[in-house]
Amino acid sequence: MANTEISFVRTEMLQEQAPPALNVGLVGWVRGNLFPDVLSGILTVVALYLIYSLLSGLLPWVFGGVWNAGSLSECREIIAAAHGEGAEAACWAVIHERFWQLMYGFYPDHLYWRPNLALVLLFAAIAPVLFEGAPRKMFWITAASPFIIPWLLWGGTVWVPIMAAMGFVIGYFVYKLVAQVSSNLLGLIAGPLALVIWWLFLSSYASSGLASVIPLELEPVASRKFGGFMLAILLGVTGISMSFPIGIVLALGRQSNLVIIKALCVGFIEFIRGVPLITLLFVAQVMLSYFLPAGTDFDIILRVMIMITLFASAYMAEVIRGGLAALPTGQYEGADSLGLDYWQAQRLIIMPQALKISIPGIVSTFIGLFKDTTLVSIISLSDPIGWVKFIQANAEWNGIVWELYGFVAFVFFLFCFGMSRYSMYLERKLKTGH
């Protein structure tokens, strides 16, 4: 045994061989994904034919379009001259001519810098929320923008947003004070109460008083003049950023052991979900003026914002409740056994996981909310759809359809697709399993 000459062990490893050409490269991909068997091959051919016939009609129409013309008839003449009588091509001239109205509505054109600046601020404000890599200091912009952006858009004295922000400072000090002399719970009631009282009754005196001493103001712009994509984005962003926290609170309330809180939350959610958004918008337009004391000037855009927010909150609450229900009870017990209190457990253990599970649902709700803002055209606010109708009613552009709706759809698509991609990015980033 000891002196065997024969080696039983392979001393040289075999060279790796290239895989058969049919499995790799372009040929391999085409074979594997387009023609793996006869039936799939036939389906591929049919699908390719459908795509071809769609694009061969659409692309020349889109790219052969006319960009400079004063009216639809002028457009048609140019097209007829270029492509011959009866040829079809898009008349993008309408977008070219009415672009700023589609973007800003009747907002005064010498003040366009204000919504533009507001948009830049908005991006700076959401960057640290969306991306971990953004500098943490940018959260100051996030905190300030709810006060600065409305001021930029509506104008007026600078003291209004400053006094509105003051409300939070006052609320915080009232909370601290009450929590110190009596209990934490009373503080939690007194703080927000002070905030609301300040906003409703005192801040307007404070800001008008201060404005008469130090007049520092932007030219005011009335809500009637807001329109176009600016209005859609304004409604969408406030709806999204307000409905998210409210939805979390409602979802927690619905799970609460406190019977009254639970009943209130369930009642609210079920009521809102049982009513079409359009009804709520009509309520905002017409009915609120009955309930409010006579003479109150309650801005129509603000009313619509509140309704859209309430509507989205109810859906958000249910989506988040689904995430909460998916968590095993062991997570609550783990947190409890370590001595974390209710809010710590919610914030550190439960919500991060529940929200992660609900990301697809949450983003769907956001996308739905953003698209639903177009419903405000029915209560005669001039959002992009409202503007399409105005333009169509014009003598020059009477009869134009596809170009306007196509453009509006395209812009909406960009936003919604962006949100959807972001949600996929977030899901990938938060994946911590195997």
Partner 1 sequence: MNEVVEREVDRSKLQVSDEVAIEITGMNKWYGSFHVLKDINLTVNQGERIVIAGPSGSGKSTLIRCLNALEEHQQGRIVVDGTELSNDLKNIDKIRREVGMVFQHFNLFPHLTILENLTLAPIWVRKTPKGEAEETAMHFLEKVKIPEQADKYPGQLSGGQQQRVAIARSLCMRPRIMLFDEPTSALDPEMIKEVLDTMIELAEEGMTMLVVTHEMGFARQVANRVIFMDEGQIVEQNEPEEFFNNPQSPRTKLFLSQILGH
Of 70, 267, 334, 418, the residue at the interface with partner 1 (CB under 8 A) is 334
Beta strands 217-218 and 156-157: pairing type? antiparallel
- 430 is a contact residue toward partner 1 (CB under 8 A): yes
Q: Tokens representing 64?
A: 């052969």
> What is the smallest separation between the CB atom of 174 and partner 1, expressed in angstroms?
24
> What is the smallest separation between the CB atom of 168 and partner 1, expressed in angstroms?
25
Q: Which of 345, 335, 341, 316 is nearest to 254 (CA)?
A: 316
Q: Which of 362, 343, 377, 353 is nearest to 419 (CA)?
A: 362
Q: Which is nearer to partner 1, 293 or 328 (CB)?
A: 328
State the first-to-last Cα distance of the chain, in angstroms, to the nearest integer. 48
Binding mask 312-331 for partner 1 (x = CB under 8 A): ----------------x-xx
Write out the H or E segment, with its range, that includes residue 288. helix 288-291
Binding mask 98-137 for partner 1 (x = CB under 8 A): ----------------------------------------
> What is the smallest separation between the CB atom of 136 and partner 1, expressed in angstroms?
16
Of 352, 398, 424, 429, the residue at the interface with partner 1 (CB under 8 A) is 352
- 428 is a contact residue toward partner 1 (CB under 8 A): no
- 241 is a contact residue toward partner 1 (CB under 8 A): no
3-state secondary structure of 87: coil
- 353 is a contact residue toward partner 1 (CB under 8 A): yes
Residue range at the interface with partner 1 (CB under 8 A); choices 31-39, 117-125, 168-176, 347-355: 347-355
d(CA 233, CA 373): 9
- 339 is a contact residue toward partner 1 (CB under 8 A): yes
Q: 325 — alpha (psi -120 to 50), left (phi > 0) or beta?
A: alpha
Q: Which is nearer to partner 1, 190 or 327 (CB)?
A: 327
> What is the smallest separation between the CB atom of 361 and partner 1, expressed in angstroms?
18
Amino acid at 157: T
The CA-based angle 96-102-107, given to 5 degrees, is 115
* Alpha-carbon distances of 284 from 256, 278, 374, rounded to whole Å: 30, 10, 15
Q: Tokens representing 373?
A: 């803002």
Q: Which is nearer to partner 1, 356 or 371 (CB)?
A: 356
- 256 is a contact residue toward partner 1 (CB under 8 A): no
Q: Give me the residues that bind partner 1 (CB under 8 A), please.
A: 328, 330-331, 333-341, 344, 348-349, 352-353, 356, 430, 432-434
